[in-house]
Amino acid sequence: MNLRVHIAALLTALGLGLGGLLLPQMAMAQTQVADEPLADTALEMRARALMKEVRCVVCQAQSIDESDAGIASDMRRLIRQQIAAGESDAAILKYLSDRYGDFVLFKPPLKAATALLWAGPFVLLAIGGLIIVFFFRRRPTATANALSSAELDRIHAALDAEGLPSPAPEATTPTERREATASTERRDA
């Protein structure tokens, strides 16, 4: 069962009406039999890891490792042959992307066109971090007249000893102060 069919079903289920379009676009090769794994376990593991990085070209969002499509099975055989022949992972990926384009690589190669894709998340994180630093620089922080944690702990301990509930963290706005007082009163009652 291949993922294309299932995504199609899912899309239809979500009421998107596109589902049907994805279905029989292209005929797939016939019945596929189980793959012949490489005898050498280490090589086979390398092959399997590589297969997870290669996109099945007729499927929706599936690697050739997961796909039942005929073309995926052909590519798996090819990868095993090339690994057995002593090719490096990079050479095999290049062989495939030369023929199918970067589209077959689930991990897009780093180049000018994909620089933003790879750098983006970390650049955004850095910008966000800078904004936060800027935020704390710009405004005074609540260190001036706040109680330290140790002091707070002592207050809590004292209150506990008296059997009273711990109050809210020191209220600053009038609303909060009122709330904190009100709540203590109510609990006491």
Smallest gap from Cβ 87 to other proteins, in A, equals: 14
**Interface with other proteins includes 85 (CB under 8 A)?**
no
**Interface with other proteins includes 58 (CB under 8 A)?**
yes
Figure out which of the listed residues 7, 84, 155, 159 binds other proteins, where binding follows CB under 8 A.
7
Figure out which of the listed residues 40, 115, 154, 172 binds other proteins, where binding follows CB under 8 A.
172
> Exposure of 41 by Cβ count < 10 A (0-12 exposed, 13-18 middle, 19+ buried)?
exposed
**Interface with other proteins includes 125 (CB under 8 A)?**
yes
b (16+ CB within 10 A) / e for 131-140: eeeeeeeeee
In which residue are the tokens 């990868």 written? 79
Helical packing angle, 70-84 and 41-51, nearest 10°? 140
Size of the site for other proteins (CB under 8 A): 102
CB 83 within 8 A of CB 47: yes
The rounded distance, in Å, linking the Cα atoms of 12 and 30 is 26
Smallest gap from Cβ 65 to other proteins, in A, equals: 9
Figure out which of the listed residues 85, 90, 142, 161 binds other proteins, where binding follows CB under 8 A.
142
**Interface with other proteins includes 115 (CB under 8 A)?**
no
**Interface with other proteins includes 70 (CB under 8 A)?**
yes
